[in-house]
Structure 1
């Protein structure tokens, strides 16, 4: 997805669902890193691929990231059509269900 395309609507999660996802995401390593280029088309493509493969991903904002960390989480969630689960410091946790994943790999919230 490039930045000019219309992003799918973001998901709304209950507080209980967010709590469950936070516990699942606690031990995850970041799979996407945002650097000095900010929200580039390459970043959005890798984030989309990671969400398709894992449903729940952790994103790390680098020191040189031009986007304010408090604004980055909601913006990344909006652009990817994912739900913002948590922002702690420079770490962002996003969730987007993928019905195409096998039952054993899907996250049920």
Structure 2
């Protein structure tokens, strides 16, 4: 579980990132979760955008992505989700 100070730090680090995944009409599926887990291992901090044609609410998508990928939900603003998971082999981000 992240503290408020850690979440603020991660939000500042994620500000300049572009979303690397999009959740569309297919919603959250196993294929997407696998790719998100691989990206989190390499990058530790990623953004995901929820497209307008997604049938699920962005809050539900954020919760599903974070729980199924084993990541921490840092932030959800509108249709953009920021996820963090500490990498086992490629640790780059040092939390305060």
1:97 matched to which residue of 2? Answer: 86
Count of equivalent residues: 95
Distance across 2 between alignment mates of 1:30 and 1:50: 12
2:15 matched to which residue of 1? Answer: 26
Pairing partner for 1:107 from 70, 93, 96: 93
Q: CA RMSD in A?
A: 1.0
| 5+ residue gaps, structure 2 | none
What is the TM-score when the length of structure 1 is the normalising length? 0.83
1:80 aligns with 2:80: no
What is the TM-score when the length of structure 2 is the normalising length? 0.94
Distance across 1 between alignment mates of 2:65 and 2:54: 13
Would you identify which runs of 4 or more consecutive aligned residues in structure 1 move more than 4 Å?
none
More helix by share: 2
| 5+ residue gaps, structure 1 | 1-11
